[in-house]
């Protein structure tokens, strides 16, 4: 298409409603067109295939649309459904296994449902609808008949003319102006039903439903709607009775100041679990408000016996002691003024009076749902801390009110419940009987009491908002103090604004005080946590920890925020880090136990493998280490954990370095690979495979001495490693030590006869060894002996008294070198060399007579070559065999054990092999003369030589 035609088409007005002309489906038009909407329509037509399939044109149009708007909807493509071919094998196998396991679970559930009775025993259950059932509803029929009678006949038009409108309006006005009752608008919420019918449900369904109702109660408690929380906890208890739900409902009743109901719930908790610390502490709080101070003190002492580091219990005990001192001088009320009615015997009544110390009267004056507010500062209740209100496993949950969780049935609450004081037995108060269970839940709350890291002013006294705050300037310090005051009053949103202004102004002031900035972030995170904004809480805590690593409060708040978002693994890591810093933080202990149970249910026995890495807190940051010396067991456990953590990290780094080295070897980058393997050996010096891999790199880099050293190290770890033998052989070959190379190659073939590379290398090295030996010893140099002609009458002058022949002189010259037994290998070598130089096999045989057969391999090791072996065989066969065949057998039995003997044996020529075979034939023939060996022994020995 020409440029003129394209321009004419572009200048025309575009009509988006009509069909696109075929002329517009052109490269030139698409390239010049800048109307994105029209291009998207063109692309739609091209993809539809109405005008034909043009893949290249479609691709060109897509690229042009992408240039105009990369985020255009027209560029989106529908992905086809995934199939086994589109997924990796492992992922597809995992999906298949999950489907099969799901199918198995469904079938098992179906079988279980079939085993359940078809009809429930509940009388309140409505009948099942079916073809055989018909409902007799007479009341509905009667109502229909009545309504039918009341229906009026339509009036005629003439009657409308007779209607007096003014009279009818007066009647209406009289009805509205009469003494009618005022209209009542019910704006209240519908009352929550407190019991549920669950007779038709299975046990598993009951547990799930009970936990769901308990979680609703937790949410209502967090929203400070305590009446609704009590209703939901009651619903949970009507399904499945649990300790945690009783604990939670008791806490809600304390908030509502329903002391007797709260006391009843605490009693139920201690009946189900006698050593429950939360139940004891909450009962102590109730007894404190009822005036039973001594009973409350007994409960708190029991808690401190179970958990000595419980700060809440310590504070409550201090308050109780102060109250007892203040009420001590007061006289006991007379019996006539006693307002409480107790159904007890006279003796028990007297004991109760003495134990309570006049507190009965005060408890009788206590209002049921009002009066003085709860001093929940001792238990952290007034802070509104709910701990963590996530879903917990059934039975021992820790969520809910004040950090508790669970459910259980509520006892009947009659109208006369306030007339009686419920007190524990005297033995339980005095001795703490039944509290031996130390593994109880704690009442430690996760919130920050008083917001102390931000310098929150205490009490309700007048607050000095201009008080200094660390190194912050006065304006920022005032903002921080205002935020602290707002936080204390529960105005979290306003506190967030103050802290945000202080944080924003920190950068402008130029102050360098990371500690103060860390506190600001931590305080704002606490506000976010109270406000339910867990994500922002995590962000602020992370910033605070970047400024001050291992700060306790940011870690604790971030852990709580993670748990509220059900990110349990990260919450677990933060709680464990908190315990490393201060192991007396009971809230962290409780949360770790709770999360551990949940992770075990979710991930099974291998839940620890899926956890992120838990950081190791330095000793300088561990608060509990500053005052208490480290015990031997704790030091050993800590060292063991540190060693395990270091080993895990080292293993991960080792695997990484090794895999990187292997990849570099594949790419031919041997220098870098050798460096990676060196890093591996620093981490694990006893890894044989790394030595052989680095030896390969050194061989490729022609650093043969280092390669040989690595192979020696590998063989020291694994003596039968054929890779180490082969690569050391290559190193020996590079160093031109062909004899050692041949020995290593033979060892490789001994370990695995199918290694063809070793066979080829052995043939090549054998030839190189022959050449090197031939070059090293080209032959013995011949002396030039002058020959002169003499007469027969001339005689060689001799000394007087010397009457010897030349042969005798020769013997006399060699005897001094062999008469004495060689003391070491050097002397043996000198004597053997002398015998070889004169080709004196008799002297060699005489030398062999002087040495023990077991020392022959050691003496001959440094002189071992083909000519030496042939010379010794000749001496044994020609001289020593006739004198002592058993000695010959012993020498031959030890000679083949010499180092590199098998390699040298391959260098013998045909004539030397023939002489060796002849020696064994003569030795076998002489076996009848000796009892030291048999013919079979000679045959077995010959197999090692021939």
Best-predicted range by mean pLDDT (83-87, 688-692, 761-765, 927-931): 688-692
Query: What pLDDT, on the 0 to 100 scale, is given for residue 618?
Result: 83
Query: What pLDDT, on the 0 to 100 scale, is given for residue 88?
Result: 86
Task: Of 147-151, 704-708, 742-746, 822-826, give the lowest mean pLDDT range.
Answer: 147-151
The pLDDT tens digits for 786-806 are 555 544 444 444 433 444 444
> What is the 8-class DSSP label of residue 416?
T
Task: Of 73-77, 118-122, 132-136, give the lowest mean pLDDT range.
Answer: 132-136
Q: What is d(CA 835, CA 850) in angstroms, rounded to the nearest whole number?
A: 14
Query: What pLDDT, on the 0 to 100 scale, is given for residue 701?
Result: 92
Query: What pLDDT, on the 0 to 100 scale, is given for residue 674?
Result: 92
Q: What is d(CA 532, CA 206) in angstroms, rounded to the nearest whole number?
A: 29
Query: For residue 6, is pLDDT > 50?
Result: no
Q: What is the average per-residue pLDDT within 634-663?
A: 85
The pLDDT tens digits for 466-487 are 888 878 888 888 889 999 999 9
pLDDT band for 190, please (50, 70, 90 cuts): low
Query: What pLDDT, on the 0 to 100 scale, is given for residue 251?
Result: 93
Query: For residue 152, is pLDDT > 70?
Result: no
What is the Cα 766 distance to its own chain's centre?
A: 57
Task: Count helices and strands (H / E) in the chain.
Answer: 43, 0
Q: What is d(CA 190, CA 173) in angstroms, rounded to the nearest whole number?
A: 35
Query: What pLDDT, on the 0 to 100 scale, is given for residue 544?
Result: 92
Query: What pLDDT, on the 0 to 100 scale, is given for residue 691?
Result: 92
Query: For residue 325, is pLDDT > 90?
Result: no
Exposed / middle / buried, residue 695 (Cβ in 10 Å: 0-12, 13-18, 19+): buried
Query: For residue 42, is pLDDT > 60?
Result: yes
Task: Of 29-33, 166-170, 331-335, give the lowest mean pLDDT range.
Answer: 331-335
Q: What is the average per-residue pLDDT within 238-266?
A: 92
The pLDDT tens digits for 565-591 are 989 999 999 999 998 888 888 888 889
The pLDDT tens digits for 363-374 are 333 333 333 333
Query: For residue 359, is pLDDT > 50?
Result: no
Query: What pLDDT, on the 0 to 100 scale, is given for residue 637?
Result: 80
Query: What pLDDT, on the 0 to 100 scale, is given for residue 807?
Result: 42
Query: For residue 378, is pLDDT > 80?
Result: no
Query: For residue 715, is pLDDT > 80?
Result: yes
pLDDT higher at 198 or 574 = 574
Query: What pLDDT, on the 0 to 100 scale, is given for residue 801?
Result: 40
Query: What pLDDT, on the 0 to 100 scale, is given for residue 124?
Result: 55
Query: For residue 924, is pLDDT > 90?
Result: no
pLDDT band for 102, please (50, 70, 90 cuts): very high
Q: What is the average per-residue pLDDT within 16-33?
A: 83
Percent of the chain exceeding pLDDT 90 equals 18
Q: Return the residue matching tokens 């929203």.
A: 223
Q: Which among 563, 567, 551 is positioned nearest to 615, based on CA atoms?
A: 551
Alpha helices in 185-276 (DSSP H): 203-222, 226-239, 243-255, 259-272
Alpha helices in 291-333 (DSSP H): 293-306, 311-327
Q: What is d(CA 927, CA 939) in angstroms, rounded to the nearest whole number?
A: 11
pLDDT higher at 822 or 328 = 822
pLDDT higher at 610 or 330 = 610
The pLDDT tens digits for 833-881 are 888 888 888 888 888 888 888 888 888 877 778 888 888 888 888 888 8
Query: For residue 301, is pLDDT > 50?
Result: yes
Q: 3-class DSSP state for residue 718? A: coil
Query: For residue 690, is pLDDT > 50?
Result: yes
Residue 809's alpha-carbon distances to 798, 802, 815, 816, 838, in angstroms, are 12, 10, 10, 12, 14
Would you give the end-to-end CA distance of the chain in angstroms? 92
> What is the 8-class DSSP label of residue 753?
T
Query: For residue 263, is pLDDT > 80?
Result: yes
């Amino acid at each position: 298409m020409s440029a003129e035609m394209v321009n004419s088409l572009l200048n025309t007005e575009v009509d988006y409603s009509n069909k696109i002309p075929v002329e517009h489906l052109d490269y030139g038009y698409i390239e010049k067109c800048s109307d994105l909407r029209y291009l998207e329509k063109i692309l739609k037509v091209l993809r539809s295939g109405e005008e034909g399939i043009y893949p290249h044109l479609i691709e060109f149009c897509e690229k042009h649309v992408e240039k105009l708007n990369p985020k255009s909807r027209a560029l989106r493509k529908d992905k086809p459904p995934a199939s086994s071919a589109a997924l990796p094998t492992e992922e597809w196998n995992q999906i298949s296994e999950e489907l099969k396991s799901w199918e198995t679970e469904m079938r098992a559930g179906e079988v279980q449902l079939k085993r359940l009775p078809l009809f429930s025993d509940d009388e309140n259950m409505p009948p099942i609808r079916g073809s055989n059932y018909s409902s007799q509803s007479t009341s509905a029929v009667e109502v229909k008949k009545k309504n039918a009678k009341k229906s009026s006949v339509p009036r005629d038009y003439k009657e409308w003319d007779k209607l007096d409108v003014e009279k009818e309006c007066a009647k209406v006005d009289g009805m509205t102006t009469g003494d009618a009752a005022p209209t009542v608008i019910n704006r209240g919420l519908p009352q929550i039903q407190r019991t549920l019918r669950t007779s038709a449900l299975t046990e598993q369904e009951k547990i799930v439903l009970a936990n769901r109702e308990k979680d609703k109660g937790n949410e209502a408690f967090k929203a400070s709607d305590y009446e609704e929380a009590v209703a939901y906890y009651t619903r949970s208890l009507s399904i499945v009775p649990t300790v945690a739900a009783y604990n939670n409902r008791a806490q809600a009743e304390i908030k509502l100041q329903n002391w007797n109901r709260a006391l009843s719930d605490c009693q139920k908790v201690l009946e189900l679990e006698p050593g429950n610390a939360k139940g004891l502490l909450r009962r102590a709080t109730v007894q404190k408000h009822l005036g039973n101070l001594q009973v409350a003190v007994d409960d708190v002492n029991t808690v401190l016996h179970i958990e000595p580091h419980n700060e809440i219990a310590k504070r409550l005990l201090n308050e109780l002691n102060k109250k007892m001192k203040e009420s001590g001088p007061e006289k006991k009320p007379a019996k006539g003024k006693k307002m409480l009615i107790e159904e007890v015997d006279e003796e028990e009544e007297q004991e109760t009076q003495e134990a309570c110390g006049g507190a009965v009267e005060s408890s009788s004056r206590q209002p049921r749902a009002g009066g003085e507010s709860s001093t929940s500062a001792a238990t952290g209740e007034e802070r509104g801390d709910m701990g963590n209100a996530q879903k917990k496993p059934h039975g021992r949950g820790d969520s809910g009110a004040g950090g508790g969780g669970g459910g259980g049935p509520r006892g009947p609450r009659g109208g006369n419940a306030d007339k009686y004081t419920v007190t524990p037995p005297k033995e339980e108060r005095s001795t703490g009987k039944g509290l031996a269970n130390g593994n109880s839940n704690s009442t430690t709350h996760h919130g920050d009491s008083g917001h102390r890291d931000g310098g929150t002013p205490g009490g309700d006294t007048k607050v000095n908002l201009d008080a200094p705050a660390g190194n912050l300037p006065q304006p920022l310090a005032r903002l921080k103090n205002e935020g602290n005051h707002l936080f204390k009053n529960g105005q979290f949103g306003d506190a967030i604004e103050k802290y945000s202004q202080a944080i924003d102004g920190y950068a402008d002031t130029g102050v360098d005080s990371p500690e103060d900035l860390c506190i600001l972030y931590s305080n704002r995170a606490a506000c976010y946590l109270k406000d339910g904004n867990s994500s922002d809480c995590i962000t602020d805590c992370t910033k605070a920890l970047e400024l001050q690593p291992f700060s306790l409060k940011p870690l604790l708040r971030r852990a709580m925020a993670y748990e509220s978002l059900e990110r349990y693994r990260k919450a677990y890591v933060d709680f464990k880090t908190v315990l490393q810093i201060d192991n007396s933080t009971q809230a962290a202990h409780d949360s770790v136990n709770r999360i551990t149970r949940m992770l075990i249910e979710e991930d099974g026995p291998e839940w620890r493998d899926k956890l992120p890495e838990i950081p190791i807190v330095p000793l300088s940051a561990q608060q509990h280490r500053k005052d208490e010396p480290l015990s031997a067991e704790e030091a050993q456990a800590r060292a063991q954990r540190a060693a395990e953590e270091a080993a895990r990290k080292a293993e991960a780094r080792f695997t990484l370095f090794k895999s990187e080295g292997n990849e570099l070897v594949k790419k031919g980058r041997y220098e870098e690979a050798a460096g990676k393997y060196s890093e591996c050996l620093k981490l694990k010096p006893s890894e044989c495979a790394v030595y052989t891999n680095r030896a390969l790199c050194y061989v490729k880099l022609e650093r043969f001495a280092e390669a040989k050293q690595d192979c020696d190290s590998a063989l020291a770890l694994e003596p039968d490693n054929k890779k180490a033998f082969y690569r050391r052989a290559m190193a020996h070959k590079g160093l031109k030590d062909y004899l050692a190379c041949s020995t290593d190659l033979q060892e490789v073939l001994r370990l695995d006869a199918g290694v063809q590379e070793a066979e080829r290398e052995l043939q090549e090295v054998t030839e190189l060894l022959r050449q090197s030996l031939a070059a090293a010893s080209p032959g013995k140099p011949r002396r030039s002996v002058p020959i002169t002609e003499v007469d027969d009458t001339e005689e060689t002058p001799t000394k007087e008294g010397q009457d010897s022949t030349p042969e005798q002189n020769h013997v006399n010259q060699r005897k001094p070198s062999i008469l004495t037994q060689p003391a070491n290998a050097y002397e043996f070598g000198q004597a053997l060399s002398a015998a070889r130089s004169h080709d004196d096999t008799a002297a060699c045989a005489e030398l062999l007579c002087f040495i023990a057969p077991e020392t022959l391999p050691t003496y001959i090791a440094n002189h071992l070559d083909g000519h030496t072996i042939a010379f010794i065989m000749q001496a044994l066969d020609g001289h020593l065999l006739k004198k002592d065949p058993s000695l010959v057998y012993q020498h031959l039995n030890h000679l083949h054990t010499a180092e590199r003997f098998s390699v040298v044996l391959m260098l013998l020529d045909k004539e030397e092999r023939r002489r060796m075979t002849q020696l064994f034939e003569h030795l076998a023939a002489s076996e009848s003369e000796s009892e030291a060996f048999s013919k079979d022994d000679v045959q077995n020995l010959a197999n090692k030589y021939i």
